[in-house]
Amino acid sequence: MIRTSARFASLCALVALSLPVFQAAAQQDVPSAPDASAAAPSAPAPASAPVLPKPDPANFTAASPTKETVNAFLQTNWGFDESRIWQVWAILKTPVEGVSKVVVLTSDKAGKQKPGQLEFFVLPDGKHIIAVGDDNLIPFGEHPFADARALTRLRADGPYRGATAKDLEIVEFADYVCPHCKEAQANMDKLAVDFPKARIVFENFPLEAIHPQARLAAAYSVCVAKQGGSDAFFTFVSAVFEGQDGLATADGAALTLNSAVVKVGLEPAKIAACATTPEIQQAVDASVKLAKDLNINGTPTLIVNGRQVSPNLPYDTLKQIILYQAKLDGVAAQ
């Protein structure tokens, strides 16, 4: 469960841009920057939206990206939250050819949060950014999730529940030994009920460096799906997460996994033999490679039509994001 802190969950969910404040270490590099914190009230919060400082045209020195592109990008990421307001305050040249620095002021309509500042660098390809204070590579542009959506539609072929169609595709990447993945299952079960038109896919992402038994559990799960189908697979998944503590050792993992196999009506010896075959190992490798190609850095992670989201967000927020993404893509969600 690398990078599964609360901060990572928030970053992953909102593409590293939803935290109300990214107080940048490099604020001094921005010419004539207003003190966003000074605009915040020290007394009770105002009843109406705060007025963010007006941008200075002198702070738009880079030819790319345009202010329209930045706004479209932010709307795609933040638009699900109707309380959020922002102002693109600067798009600056940097000493590095092709790299631009973008500064965004952000607050909320009710004025309940102290106005904050987000800074990020747009890379020369115009399709990725790195936010100040975070080292993740984040997709950028008017349609930042298009490439990841195409990738999951093509390669996310794990067991699924819900719709056959991929109009709304929710892909879960998980590790059976990851405690946060176990916690996420309650939200995943709710999504399956609330989004019957979604195709909810499970992809293995065993973090072997920190969870030695994770790959074996992943291989078992692939064999269960192969021999028992999707219904058996999801029953197996629930049983393994329920007995997750047993995966701490090799002997405990064997007992836990075999018990889960029995629970779905399959034969442990056959699943164990299946799990060691090159075919199954290659299937696990393919799932791991997909996660890495999607720039997924930890578990659990959802990909909702290409958009990275943490399944451990408060459920109402998670549901809101999925509904918004479906609306952006013009597909039925429920």
165: number of Cβ within 10 Å = 12
Q: Containing H/E element for 269?
A: helix 268-275
265 alpha carbon, distance to own chain's centre: 34
* pTM, two decimal places: 0.84
The pLDDT, as a whole number, for residue 47 is: 52
End-to-end CA distance of the chain: 31
DSSP 56: P
Which amino acid belongs to residue 283?
A
10: number of Cβ within 10 Å = 17
Cis status, amide bond into 41, omega within 30 of 0:
no
Q: In what order do the strands lie in the sheet with 307-309?
A: 160-162, 199-204, 169-174, 301-304, 307-309
Domain coordinates in residue numbering, the chain: 17-135, 146-329
The pLDDT, as a whole number, for residue 110 is: 87
Phi-psi region of 143 (alpha: psi -120 to 50; beta: other; left: phi over 0): beta
| Full pLDDT tens readout for the chain, 334 residues | 444 333 333 333 333 343 332 222 222 233 333 333 333 344 444 456 688 888 999 999 999 999 999 999 999 999 999 999 999 999 999 999 999 999 999 999 988 878 899 999 999 999 999 999 888 889 999 999 999 999 999 999 999 999 999 999 999 999 999 999 999 999 999 999 999 999 999 999 999 999 999 999 999 999 999 999 999 999 999 999 999 999 999 999 999 999 999 999 999 999 999 999 999 999 999 999 999 999 998 999 999 999 999 999 999 999 999 999 999 999 999 8
Q: What angle do CA 302, 307, 312 make, to 5 degrees?
A: 35
Thinking of the domain 146-329, which architecture would CATH place it in?
3-Layer(aba) Sandwich (3.40)
